């Protein structure tokens, strides 16, 4: 298999990407194709499964062209995607998931919060299955969204042949297999992987009894490990779309953040052990993933999930619903952002990258750039607080604003925003440790965490070393590892992790700034608490 190559396909919130890797984990080529995102008032976010599939095909074809490989050179394919809900009717036809009636918009995106009321009612029931989602189900998970569809769009709900998590839709589209990944259904659908069953009583208690009556035929009856080969590989139609060979092995997939975890936690030390390293995937949103030999229950942290990321280990998944997106939102509020964005465009870089470069130049080092934030404090809960507070009603707060409108104040706001993300990470780490999870290092991946300044600030905020992968695209790499496992290049996913990943740089916390960050962290928590108190007063709850 030394000449074999593997394709990792990652579908994020804004784009589909494909990367081609060899068996040592080196990336030969990658390509990206944007996907449409339909946002509406009322926390509505929708996408099209057909648009996403076409973007996948475009990115794969472009990557193959760049790598100058023939279809027969690809030995295996892996998919990852956001945990978004796909609705399909008879013969796989898309069904509308909004009152607009547009069947092309058949995906409720992970970040969609339309099911807030349904989530509250589910949580009020206190069913024991909620113990395996951190005690509180999120409106970002699939059963509240299914209940919303049943109550608000009964025509779509009744007509649905299959409801898929997006990664499972992609593997079905590629192979025709209805098998679901243990990752998707355990983390987002309440499947109890450690008992290998759906909890029928939960679905009946929350009003989705019809799914239980059908023996869960519409949401998955065969649950398989991530990396397992599906059906007979690529169908003729899918192979034609992708420009690849029919029968090419396709693996059961992963949620995108979990692919980043697989692609990064095996790198540090090279032994494949994930039980002391917390994976932190920093993209549009951010996810933390800590693995343990025994189940650990952490309030506000999703899980524990058995074999949801690393086979045989329990996963505790925290997260920040807005991370890279929070930085973009913060910067958009500043009057100097328009001119700075034009400068960044001229230099062919993103605005956050430009501001990070300026911050390091002004401060003289990555660590001391934190002081540029001054008295600015940012609690970046624009889409609520997923972990550890499990508070979807929380909202962002910015304190310390003055009348400044210049570039320096924009840089200060950017740095304060990154620190806010870092202190949110610290809260998740502290809650995890307090409940018995071992966290010694943070294994970082994701596009929003590429700049050395961001990596150093995260290390200082968390008070832990931040390690990176040698491979700059660990999410794509994680999916490629799935493809390599399905192809039989390695005996199991852990072996693929050991062979295809290797460590990159380590960013150690700066000890001289520990007191500085402890004070800012205390101020961060005080501001966060005050925001909740203020909201309660406005709502008449205090």
* Residue-level pLDDT at 208: 98
What's the CATH number where 55 sits?
3.30.420.40
**Is 330 domain-assigned?**
no
Structural domain of 179: 5-254
* Residue-level pLDDT at 273: 61
Q: Is the pLDDT of residue 231 over 70?
A: yes
**Is 403 domain-assigned?**
no
* Residue-level pLDDT at 243: 98
The total number of structural domains that make up the chain: 1
Q: Identify the CA nearest to 293 among candidates 279, 272, 307.
A: 307
Q: Which of the residue ranges 83-97, 416-430, 466-480 would you say has the lowest mean pLDDT? A: 466-480
* Residue-level pLDDT at 470: 81
Could you tell me the two tokens for 229? 């080969």
Question: pLDDT tens digits for 364-402?
Answer: 999 999 999 999 999 999 999 999 998 999 999 999 999
* Residue-level pLDDT at 148: 98
User: Average pLDDT, whole number, for the chain?
Assistant: 94
- pLDDT confidence of 502, banded at 50, 70, 90? confident
**Is 356 domain-assigned?**
no
**Is 483 domain-assigned?**
no
Mean pLDDT of 201-222: 97
Q: Which of the residue ranges 72-76, 151-155, 169-173, 470-474 would you say has the lowest mean pLDDT? A: 470-474
Question: pLDDT tens digits for 83-123?
Answer: 999 999 999 999 999 999 999 999 999 999 999 999 999 99
Mean pLDDT of 414-443: 96
119-125 CB contacts, 8 Å cutoff, 24+ apart: 119/144, 119/392, 121/206, 122/147, 122/206, 125/205, 125/206
* Residue-level pLDDT at 248: 98
- Cα-Cα-Cα-Cα dihedral of 281, 287, 290, 294, to 10°? -140
Mean pLDDT of 499-521: 94
- pLDDT confidence of 251, banded at 50, 70, 90? very high
Query: In a 3-state reduction of DSSP, which class is residue 406?
Result: coil
Radius of gyration of the chain (CA): 22
Please, what is the end-to-end C-alpha distance for the chain in angstroms?
65
- Where do the DSSP E strands lie in 103-201? 107-108, 162-165, 180-181
**Is 55 domain-assigned?**
yes
The number of C-alpha atoms within 13 Å of 232 and in the hemisphere containing its C-beta is 8
Query: In a 3-state reduction of DSSP, which class is residue 6?
Result: strand
Could you tell me the two tokens for 11? 């579908």
pTM above 0.75, yes or no: yes
Q: Identify the CA nearest to 11 among candidates 359, 364, 368, 479.
A: 479
**Is 313 domain-assigned?**
no
267/489 Cα distance (integer angstroms): 19
Query: In a 3-state reduction of DSSP, which class is residue 162?
Result: strand
**Is 238 domain-assigned?**
yes
Q: Is the pLDDT of residue 270 over 90?
A: no
Q: Are 455 and 290 in contact (CB under 8 A)?
A: no
Q: Are 165 and 190 in contact (CB under 8 A)?
A: no
* Residue-level pLDDT at 283: 87
274/291 Cα distance (integer angstroms): 6
Question: pLDDT tens digits for 298-340?
Answer: 998 999 999 999 889 999 999 898 899 999 999 999 999 999 9
Question: pLDDT tens digits for 11-27?
Answer: 999 999 999 999 999 99
**Is 445 domain-assigned?**
no
How many percent of the chain have pLDDT more than 90? Answer: 88
* Residue-level pLDDT at 522: 98
β-strands 286-292, 302-306: how paired?
unpaired
Cross-strand pairs, 181:
224
Q: Are 396 and 380 in contact (CB under 8 A)?
A: yes
Question: pLDDT tens digits for 274-289?
Answer: 788 999 999 888 999 9
382/482 Cα distance (integer angstroms): 33
- pLDDT confidence of 2, banded at 50, 70, 90? very low
181/169 Cα distance (integer angstroms): 10
């Amino acid at each position: 298999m030394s000449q074999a190559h593997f394709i990792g396909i990652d579908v994020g919130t804004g784009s589909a990407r494909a990367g081609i890797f060899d068996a040592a984990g080196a990336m030969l080529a990658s390509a990206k194709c944007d996907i449409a995102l339909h946002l509406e008032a009322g926390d509505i976010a929708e996408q099209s499964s057909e648009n996403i599939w076409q973007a996948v095909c475009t990115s794969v074809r472009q990557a193959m062209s760049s790598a100058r490989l023939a279809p027969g050179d690809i030995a295996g394919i892996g998919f990852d995607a956001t945990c978004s809900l796909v609705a399909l009717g008879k013969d796989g036809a898309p069904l509308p998931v909004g009152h607009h009636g547009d069947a092309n918009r058949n995906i409720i995106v992970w970040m969609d919060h339309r099911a807030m009321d349904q989530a509250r009612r589910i949580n009020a029931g206190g069913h024991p299955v909620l113990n395996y989602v951190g005690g509180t189900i999120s409106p970002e998970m699939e059963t509240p969204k299914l209940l919303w569809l049943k109550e608000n769009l009964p025509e779509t709900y009744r007509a649905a042949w299959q409801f898929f998590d997006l990664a499972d839709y992609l593997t079905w589209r590629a192979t025709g297999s209805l098998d679901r990944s243990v990752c998707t259904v355990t983390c987002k659908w309440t499947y109890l992987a450690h008992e290998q069953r759906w909890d029928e009583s939960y679905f009946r208690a929350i009003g989705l009894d019809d799914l239980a009556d059908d023996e869960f035929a519409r949401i998955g009856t065969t649950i398989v490990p991530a990396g397992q080969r599906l059906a007979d590989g690529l169908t003729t139609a899918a192979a034609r779309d992708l420009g690849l060979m029919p029968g090419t092995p396709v693996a059961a997939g992963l949620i995108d953040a979990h692919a980043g975890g697989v692609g990064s936690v095996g790198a540090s030390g090279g032994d494949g052990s994930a039980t002391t390293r917390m994976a932190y995937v920093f993209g549009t949103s951010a996810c933390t993933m800590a693995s343990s030999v025994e189940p650990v229950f952490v309030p506000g942290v999703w899980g524990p999930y058995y074999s949801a990321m690393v086979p045989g280990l329990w996963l505790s998944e925290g997260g920040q619903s807005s991370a890279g997106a929070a930085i973009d939102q913060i910067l958009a509020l500043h009057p100097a952002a328009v001119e700075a964005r034009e400068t960044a465009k001229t230099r062919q870089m993103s605005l956050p990258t430009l501001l990070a470069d300026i911050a390091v130049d002004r401060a003289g080092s990555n660590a001391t750039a934190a002081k540029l934030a001054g008295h600015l404090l940012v609690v970046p809960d624009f889409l609520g607080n997923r972990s550890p507070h499990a508070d979807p009603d929380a909202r962002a707060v910015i304190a310390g604003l003055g009348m400044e409108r210049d570039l320096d104040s924009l840089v200060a706001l950017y740095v304060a925003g990154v620190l806010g993300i870092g202190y949110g990470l610290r809260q998740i780490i502290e809650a995890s440790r307090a409940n018995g999870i071992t966290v010694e290092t943070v294994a970082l991946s994701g596009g929003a965490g590429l700049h050395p300044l961001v990596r150093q600030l995260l290390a200082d905020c968390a008070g832990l070393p931040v390690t990176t992968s040698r491979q700059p695209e660990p999410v794509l790499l994680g999916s490629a590892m799935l493809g390599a496992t399905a192809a039989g290049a390695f005996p199991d996913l852990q072996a693929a992790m050991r062979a295809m990943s290797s460590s990159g740089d380590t960013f150690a916390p700066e000890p001289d700034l520990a007191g500085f960050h402890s004070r800012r962290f205390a101020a961060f928590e005080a501001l966060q608490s005050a925001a909740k108190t203020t909201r309660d007063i406005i709502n008449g709850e205090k």
